[in-house]
Structure 1
């Protein structure tokens, strides 16, 4: 069962992680449909290949050519007519009549009993449909080769025209989060630029009277604001436009104005702090004035309290879109965990990506891990390869939500499901790698 933000969930109840994720995905889909109704041409822009890393392809990229453009050899060897194999002899002998190089097609044709020395990628000459690898042949003299007939079949080791891509067919589908390999593919088709989705504008702010900027000396009871820097790093990994709204005091007037200002400039607003029990009272009132926002207590560790929903269009914002809102916990590790579990996928979905969930792998727990059933846990850990070559994982130590060192030392999350209990040494566990995510 999914839950809508305009039907707020009380902080006294705990929501399953999967239910929260489904509710977020459903609301983001509603926002996407509303955005399509606006049909703003500025939602798509064309950028050069070398500027498109981690951007999202806006439309299918159609191949302007067949790839390969002609039948060609899949390896170095000798090209010939496969009908030569239809013989009662166990050994085939062929006369070499020339050489074909990649980029330098052989202009002649090949007759019965003849072959052409050919290099990988060279165009197959007329009369040839089969290639015998060079290492399978024996040179009788400079102009004659032999090979056993049972070493291949007619048509082998030939790449057909259009085998990789056919002209007019999608080479890369819309919604692709573009990677370096995609640039190589586009370049191989002679395409120098790509149509991509506009970068989402994401505003971030931290709330709390105890927070100080990095250029100030700490007074008693104050701490440096680390959450905006963590969020900036996370968002930069997604190649989004970041609007830093700074630190906001813990009072209704300041917070409301900060939210209004951020929503007028951004597609998404992410705040940290101010969503725990007690703290949420005045924040909840503000959110009810500005939009539809639910306050959730999620069955997870770390990162239980969270707010999510939409802020109504702000006067003067063009086009008049709603602003997606995430109110994350104040604890530094919880901010990163909730971003990983909920925000990252929602941002990719909102920006049109067709693959939003990070992949999971498995590793063997090096030591027991304590876990209570009834909540999902994200434990910081170090993944490595054990002496027997199998992937193994160990925790970074104390897993407190305020211990940033546990994140800095880790290279993955161990994800323990809602119903799981204690993990024994030697058990396989799910792993989410930080690389490319955090």
Structure 2
């Protein structure tokens, strides 16, 4: 398990900026050290433990990029049509059995190795055969056209995949192209998740008139699994300090991260803060972010704990900006901050300085072809429909105080925030 000091997240300021929070996490969280070997077909989504240098060049041999006729460029005269006898035929997967002779062409197919001496390929669509079976080559083709040299993509010995790379299908494809069958990856992060509150019941359970079905826990578990975590569902813990303390103490040693939802505000019935402090150390972060200011982070027996707000939109936003970078740091993954897409605002908005805000929006294409962001018509961090019926978030930086229609704003799609 990750072992952190009790004061590693200590912060003296009244409000922590989003950038400060991410920087603190990246600098002070130690990745898990256990390494696993996985088959290539199971490598998608895992974090590569060691860098991979190209064991061979890609492509490994010089080959034709098209179906056509391979020739020696020295046989071509710049301004007139050439007619060359066709001597030989090379299919993909076959060896180039003989050099191409002076004044001759070789029929060749995409991916087939270039015969010795040939350095240019005419596409079959651009040529014709005469009655004698000679290929008629039009003028103007540059030497080297339609040929893929060995190592054109990646030279042997160069860095191909970095340690900490979260493997995606294209990375798996590259490893396969090198002939690798297994990869060394860091083990999956183990996260315990629970909600707090007597007002919550799990879906399928009896719900009293004054209770709500717990939605946050299922949202958070789904987001964690998208990050490749192993998730333990601890259910709903009651608003009781002793129960919270006991549960936290029990699960901390068996997990790399403990994640809670609800109970981190300053109300009389918000017991997470006191529960954590009775078995570990908690530094309550009041982040300069909206929605989601009340965020708690602490250490229990060396295991980090993050407490997210109970309102679902606030929980979603703070997961993206606090939990996601923490999980990536624990997994030894390279930090990949989502890059906002510039779009045009189709709304007006006012905000305070010194706080980063995230506005839920839908995208539409305007009459002039530009992408416009349409603000969800209602406010409120408890509106799940505002996450379901929109496409993502517009990020408004700390220095901004207002947005007018037509202004350029940064859009973060939900897909980029949950991958």
TM-score under structure 1 length normalisation:
0.87
Aligned partner (choices 255, 261, 286) of residue 250 of structure 2? 261
**Aligned counterparts, 1:173-212, within 5 A:** 173-212=162-201
Q: Does 1:151 align with 2:141?
A: yes
Q: Deviations over 1:60-112 (max 9, x none)?
A: 23444332221101222221122224x57544332221222111234122121
Match of 1:16 in 2: 17
**Aligned counterparts, 1:105-254, within 5 A:** 105-152=95-142, 154-254=143-243
**Aligned counterparts, 1:7-86, within 5 A:** 7-9=10-12, 13-28=14-29, 31-32=30-31, 43-85=34-76
CA-based RMSD of the aligned residues comes to 2.4
Alignment partners' CA distance in 2, 1:173 and 1:96: 46
* Alpha-carbon spacing, 1:279–1:94, altered in 2? closer, same or farther (3 Å): farther
Alignment partners' CA distance in 2, 1:427 and 1:351: 38
Match of 2:374 in 1: 394
Contact 1:110-1:127 at 8 Å conserved across structures: yes
Alignment partners' CA distance in 2, 1:6 and 1:107: 67
Alignment partners' CA distance in 1, 2:398 and 2:63: 54
Contact 2:70-2:119 at 8 Å conserved across structures: yes
Q: Deviations over 1:371-405 (max 9, x none)?
A: 33331111112123334332222122213111111
* Alpha-carbon spacing, 1:8–1:220, altered in 2? closer, same or farther (3 Å): farther
State the aligned residue count. 412
Alignment partners' CA distance in 2, 1:269 and 1:339: 13
Aligned partner (choices 309, 315, 328) of residue 348 of structure 1? 328
Mean Cα deviation higher: 50-59 or 413-422: 50-59
**Structure 1 residue 155 displacement after superposition:** 2.5
TM-score under structure 2 length normalisation:
0.90
Match of 1:297 in 2: 286
Q: Which runs of 5+ in 2 are unaligned?
A: 1-6
Q: Which runs of 5+ in 1 are unaligned?
A: 37-42, 313-321
**Structure 1 residue 5 displacement after superposition:** 5.2
* Alpha-carbon spacing, 1:151–1:412, altered in 2? closer, same or farther (3 Å): same
**Structure 1 residue 206 displacement after superposition:** 1.0
Alignment partners' CA distance in 2, 1:79 and 1:111: 11
SS of 1:233's partner is helix
Q: Does 1:100 align with 2:101?
A: no
Mean Cα deviation higher: 186-195 or 278-287: 278-287
**Structure 1 residue 274 displacement after superposition:** 1.7
SS of 1:435's partner is helix
Alignment partners' CA distance in 1, 2:51 and 2:78: 51
**Aligned counterparts, 1:409-424, within 5 A:** 409-424=389-404
* Alpha-carbon spacing, 1:174–1:305, altered in 2? closer, same or farther (3 Å): same
* Alpha-carbon spacing, 1:84–1:280, altered in 2? closer, same or farther (3 Å): farther
* Alpha-carbon spacing, 1:414–1:244, altered in 2? closer, same or farther (3 Å): same
Alignment partners' CA distance in 2, 1:346 and 1:141: 71
Q: Deviations over 1:256-294 (max 9, x none)?
A: 111111202210011111211235986444434433431
Match of 1:310 in 2: 299
